[in-house]
Amino acid sequence: MDNELLIKTVQAQIGYNFKNADLLLQAFTRRPYAKENGGEDNEVLEFIGDSALEIAAVRFLASKFGKLQNVFSCSAKEGKLTLKTQQLVKRTTLASRIDELGFAEYLFLGKGDIIDEILKRPSVKADLFEAIVGAVAIDSGWDLSAICRVVETMLNPEEFFLTDIDTNYYRKVKLWGKKLNGRSPQYKYKEASYASTWWVPFDGISQSFPYDYNYSRLKFHCYLTISGDFPVYRGFGATKAEARWNTYKLAYEDLTAKGVVFESTIRDEIENPNKDEAANQLRCLADRGYFSTPIFSFTQKKTKKGKNVCIAVCTAADIGKLFFAVCPTKKEAKKEAAFKMLQYVLYGKVAKKPQTEDEPQATDEDEPSTNGEGDDFADGCEQQLAEDCTP
């Protein structure tokens, strides 16, 4: 993608037009690329964006739960606000949002980056999210309103407060569009009144309102394009987030009525299930409400031949099974156990690998049901493997 198209595409997605577009290009520039080709990399922008992101997240939560009437009162306790802030800004969340926006493919990569396939690393995507926010902070002259608008547009924080994931039209349409075309649907914003559309022809499907609706509150338009075979969808809102939500809801209802949209499943959430990213992929699924946060425990033991091994146990409170692995290192054991759990939640089974003398392999029959007692059964699982490993 050439630079001009990159700038145009990203600006439309995040709802912010840069005065200095070079800052946006810098946000996409990895350090290896800058070393090979000259110019500034995005690492300082990441640092700036990290701080700006947390301020924006706190402001969102304060607006959602707080009220100012001479004094400030809040319906959420400090502990809840802290946990929600951590959930909003944690790196797996940021990486997931970059995947949804499709921005990682625009990164300027060095030769080593390409060889190492760094686009598979969630940390690289999280860095990009922060760098974009940092670029907006600098370009806007630290305009807090502009920073918060961009963060809320990219982060879509309202999604974290849904009580039923089936109401998430944004994710349903995104997954369906990606399945159809190999890429996520594209959307863009326009800041304008609803009345400005009254006498302008629109070749697509537009959101409608009751006759007595308060049109004056609608300040933003959102336009969604899935592919050339489908109409452009247009929704409205008092904020960009509301406009986007209404637009995706409109698209979902239209596509469902036409019988062309499929119901996404947990399998559609993970594009490339693999062992190296399994732990992060599990956390991503947990963030989206499929199950509770995965828990890992580790024990160091010796095999019958005196080799040191690590026993890793992976579970979640509402999964009802334990997944464990025995490997020479803690890192490998964690990957193996996480991948077993990932295979189970996606496909209902765990692929077997050949058993070796030094690394006893657990089978599905060996894995007891947790029945809600994850810690006790994890201890039992470790004990079972320890008996096989000790001299």
State how many domains the chain has.
Answer: 3
Of 196 and 134, more confident? 134
pLDDT at 366 over 50: no
- What pLDDT sits at residue 1? 66
Region 202-213 average pLDDT: 89
Which of 99, 130, 158 is at the close of a domain? 158
The share of the chain scoring above pLDDT 70, in percent, equals: 85
Neighbours of 52 (CB within 10 A): 23
The share of the chain scoring above pLDDT 90, in percent, equals: 32
Residues 179 and 125 in one domain: no
Q: Is residue 326 part of a domain?
A: yes
Q: Is residue 138 part of a domain?
A: yes
pLDDT band at 363 (very low <50, low <70, confident <90, very high): very low
Asked about 22 being catalytic, the answer comes back as no
pLDDT band at 264 (very low <50, low <70, confident <90, very high): low
- Per-residue model confidence as pLDDT tens digits over 35-74: 999 999 999 999 999 999 999 999 989 888 888 888 888 8
Residues 24 and 114 in one domain: yes
Residues paired with residue 234 on neighbouring β-strands, in sequence order: 206, 223
- What pLDDT sits at residue 162? 58
Per-residue HEC secondary structure of the chain comes to: CCHHHHHHHHHHHHCCCCCCHHHHHHHCECHHHHHHHCCCCCHHHHHHHHHHHHHHHHHHHHHHHEEEECEEEECCCHHHHHHHHHHHHCHHHHHHHHHHHCCHHHCECCHHHHHHCHHHCHHHHHHHHHHHHHHHHHHCCCCHHHHHHHHHHHHCHHHHHCCCHHHCHHHHHHHHHHHHHCCCCEEEEEECCCHHHCCCCCCEEECCCCCCCCHHHCCEEEEEECCCCCCEEEEEECCHHHHHHHHHHHHHHHHHHCCCCCCCCHHHHCCCCCCCCHHHHHHHHHHCCCCCCCEEEEEEEECCCCCEEEEEEEECCCCCECEEEEECCHHHHHHHHHHHHHHHHHHCCCCCCCCCCCCCCCCHHHCCECCCCHHHHHHHHHHHHHHHHCC
pLDDT band at 384 (very low <50, low <70, confident <90, very high): very low
Asked about 116 being catalytic, the answer comes back as no
pLDDT band at 263 (very low <50, low <70, confident <90, very high): low
Residues 259 and 271 in one domain: no
Q: At 237, which CATH number?
A: 3.30.160.20
Residues 364 and 284 in one domain: yes
Which of 158, 178, 197 is at the close of a domain? 158
- What pLDDT sits at residue 350? 59
Q: Which amino acid is at 256?
A: T
- Per-residue model confidence as pLDDT tens digits over 122-173: 899 999 999 999 999 999 999 999 999 999 889 888 777 654 444 578 777 8
What is the extent of the structural domain holding 140?
Answer: 3-158
The one catalytic residue among 130, 139, 242, 336 = 130
Q: Is residue 226 part of a domain?
A: yes
Of 148 and 365, more confident? 148
Q: Is residue 164 part of a domain?
A: no
- Per-residue model confidence as pLDDT tens digits over 232-260: 999 998 888 788 889 999 999 898 888 87
Lowest-confidence region among 7-11, 147-151, 351-355: 351-355
Quote the mean pLDDT of the chain. 82
Contact 340, 330 (CB under 8 A): no
pLDDT at 364 over 60: no
Of 386 and 130, more confident? 130
- Per-residue model confidence as pLDDT tens digits over 318-342: 787 889 899 999 999 999 999 999 9
Q: Is residue 163 part of a domain?
A: no
The one catalytic residue among 46, 50, 159, 336 = 50
Lowest-confidence region among 82-86, 202-206, 283-287, 362-366: 362-366
Q: At 26, which CATH number?
A: 1.10.1520.10
pLDDT band at 109 (very low <50, low <70, confident <90, very high): very high
pLDDT at 367 over 90: no
Q: Is residue 374 part of a domain?
A: yes
pLDDT band at 261 (very low <50, low <70, confident <90, very high): low
Which of 105, 134, 158 is at the close of a domain? 158
pLDDT at 386 over 60: no
Residues 98 and 141 in one domain: yes
